[in-house]
Amino acid sequence: MAAKFDPIPLDYQTEVFKKGLKYERPPITFDTTKWETQAKEILSKDSWNYVGGNAGAGQAEENNRAALRRWGILPKRLTGQQKLPDLSTKLFGKTYEFPIALCPVGVQRIFHVDGELASSSAAAEEHIPYIFSSASATSIEDVAKANGSGHRWFQLYWPANAHNDITHSLLHRAQENGYDVLVVNVDTFIVGWRPGDQDQGYSPFLRPDRVGVEMGLTDPVFQKQFKEKYGKEVDDDLGLAAGVWARIFVAGFPHAWEDLKDLRKHWKGPIVVKGIQTAEDAVACVEAGVDGVYVSNHGGRQVDGGIGSLDCLVEVVDAVGGKTPIIFDSGVRNGSDVVKALALGADFVCIGRPYVYGLALQGKEGVRHVIKSILVLTFAQHQAEYQGHNMSDRPASPTPEERAKLDKEAKAKEDAEQSALPYQWTQTIKDVDITTSVPANLKGKDFDVKLTKSGIKAGIKGQTPIIEGDFPHGIRVDDSTWTLETTATGKEMSIHLDKQNQMEWWAHVITSAPKIDTSKITPENSKLSDLDGETRGMVEKMMYDQRQKEMGKPTSDEQKKHDILKKFQEQHPEMDFSNAKIS
């Protein structure tokens, strides 16, 4: 069944412009980069730390965003497509209008009074699945009512096997209330080490306001066991009940693959395993008979230092793509991120923090705005077909911080390569100078130096040449020389190469040597910096030579020849140069 392309996602931009004619503004900004900062401004520190915080130093979430930035979109042009792209996706026997869902996010009432009721209702109205979180501040039943006829999936924080009776009760409640996909969370058997929450001493799961434990406190099996053990109802001691439930739904240790068999016995629909980050675990999912793999690192909230989730997606797709549906989240902030994940092989992409920011800013309408904005961007950047046709493994433009880091790493590598050469070299736009230290007892006759227009061979006679190979560009042989000079530590062989094209930089002296980045060469500042390089060089040389002639001094070319002769005289004092003339 084809998707029904209703005007809400497709024409949202036009709708906003029409309202603008009446001076009506959208509920929140369309700038996806501002949703986070604006939400932070209005949320309490406790609430902000919970949604915006990450595990440890936040490296995993940084890696999530960096991984998404590394991939660039290459749009295809003139495809001849005569209809709107069909983004409908068949998954688990159902056809979804869009390959997008809302991530399971808990405790939403700390962001807005309507919490999960608002976001689940918005998801239904925008025709995308809502994934219920086990940490929801609203019960399984109430979220189902708010979601109405929408698609809803149930995410399970998996209690230990000792509490299988409670697990079975939760699964039963979810199925009875129309949740048709079970998303088993396997990366949160303990809560991540999140400095922001710890600095505030804030855990929504231990508070007596039910905000993080409503699913458990409304469960009949838990209620019965609580009363039997403590002799009172859950509502009579919410603080105690919250603590008891928190120790149940965060198991404290991981389950095993064989434990999935018990879930299969008590769940009639598809089962998806969430939190997969490796090809090995993806293959294990398939072998265990689950119905889908959910690639996620919990938005960087569980393991500090984890690699970017998109990088994991590529590996997982290579391993199990085509064998089982693949769902993706972590780091997604806009429609282009959705397109990248779909193009790299994800069947469905889930959005987390952005819709929570929308919820904080404008309740249900804020969530709808975020969903529609991302859907519009997904449509706008969709080109004909997803699968690899509009993606490039060439990096997208890095941020200034990333660029500075990359430049620093590249410079360190370049310096190491150049230091390893048996010679040193420098250049100006006109010439190249090569130097190398040699034993102090050697004389000119002990060296073998051959210069041609296209290459060089230089070294000590009878030994492996110090430098041998082809030049990257031609030289003027007649104006190129070599000398042997005495230094404070011994002797140094110097080779001067006069470039044939004196308007280009060399990346290396010989083509077999490692290159330098000529784009990073910064020539000396010129008083004629408003001219292009070639013109500036010619003018400066002409002006210098003219001044020299006016003062009766040698021009630049004449001075170079005099310098060469002077070096040669110093090396051969036994020779008479009194009658030598240089033209």
Enumerate the active-site residues: 298
How far is Cα of residue 129 from the mean position of the Cα atoms in its chain?
A: 26
Q: How distant, in Å, are the alpha carbons of 49, 340, 376 from that of 314? A: 31, 11, 25
Work out the number of other CB atoms within 10 angstroms of the CB of residue 554.
16
Is the Cβ–Cβ distance between 511 and 471 less than 8 Å? Answer: yes
| Residue 519 per-residue DSSP state | G
Work out the number of other CB atoms within 10 angstroms of the CB of residue 501.
12
Q: How distant, in Å, are the alpha carbons of 95, 289, 345, 348 from that of 295? A: 21, 17, 11, 10
Q: At what angle do helices 140-147 and 164-176 cross, to 10 degrees?
A: 20
Of 407, 191, 401, 391, the closest CA to residue 310 belongs to 391
3-state secondary structure string, 39-97?
HHHHCCHHHHHHHHCCCCCCHHHHHHHHHHHHCEECCCCCCCCCCCCCCCEEECCEEEC
Is the Cβ–Cβ distance between 298 and 304 less than 8 Å? Answer: no
How far apart, in whole angstroms, are the C-alpha atoms of residue 303 and residue 308? 11
How far apart, in whole angstroms, are the C-alpha atoms of residue 216 and residue 242? 8
What are residue 393's phi and psi, to 5 degrees?
-85, 5
How far apart, in whole angstroms, are the C-alpha atoms of residue 184 and residue 254? 12
Instruction: Give 408: exposed, middle or buried? Use CB within 10 Å, 0-12, 13-18, 19+.
Output: exposed
Burial 161-200 (b: 16+ CB within 10 A, else e): eebeebbbbbbebbbebbbbbbbbbbbbbeebebebbeeb
Q: 360: part of which helix (H) or strand (E)?
A: helix 353-381
Of 329, 240, 268, the closest CA to residue 293 belongs to 329
Could you tell me the end-to-end alpha-carbon distance of the chain, in angstroms, rounded to an integer? 89
Is the Cβ–Cβ distance between 332 and 350 less than 8 Å? Answer: yes
What are residue 568's phi and psi, to 5 degrees?
-65, -40
Is the Cβ–Cβ distance between 274 and 314 less than 8 Å? Answer: no
